Amino acid sequence: MKKRSLALRCGLAAVACAVPAGAQAGTGSQLWSQAGCGGCHTLAAAGSSGAGGPNLDYLRPSAGAVAAQVAAGGGGMPSFSGSLSSSQIDALATWVASVAGSPSAGTSASPVLASASGMSVAAVQKLQAGLKRLGFFHHVVTGFYGPVTTKAVKRFQRSAGLKADGVWGPKSETALKARLSTGG
What is the residue extent of each domain of the chain? 3-105, 121-182
DSSP assignment of 39-70: GT-EEGGGTEE-SSS-BHHHH---HHHHHHHH
Task: Calculate the average pLDDT of the chain.
Answer: 75
On whether the CB atoms of residues 66 and 93 are closer than 8 A, the answer is: yes
**What pLDDT is stored for residue 20 in this prediction?**
43
Query: C-alpha 167: how far from its chain's center?
Result: 19
Superfamily of domain 121-182: PGBD-like superfamily/PGBD (1.10.101.10)
Report d(CA 183, CA 4) in Å as an integer.
Answer: 48
pLDDT tens digits, 145-170: 888 888 999 999 999 999 999 888 89
Its pTM stands at 0.49
pLDDT tens digits, 17-36: 444 444 444 587 788 877 88
Question: Phi/psi class of residue 27: alpha, beta or left (left: φ > 0; alpha: ψ in -120 to 50)?
Answer: beta
Instruction: Give the CATH architecture of domain 3-105.
Output: Orthogonal Bundle (1.10)
* Range with lowest mean pLDDT among 1-5, 52-56, 69-73, 75-79: 1-5
Confidence at 116, pLDDT banded by 50, 70, 90: low
Phi, psi of 105 (to 5 degrees): -90, 5
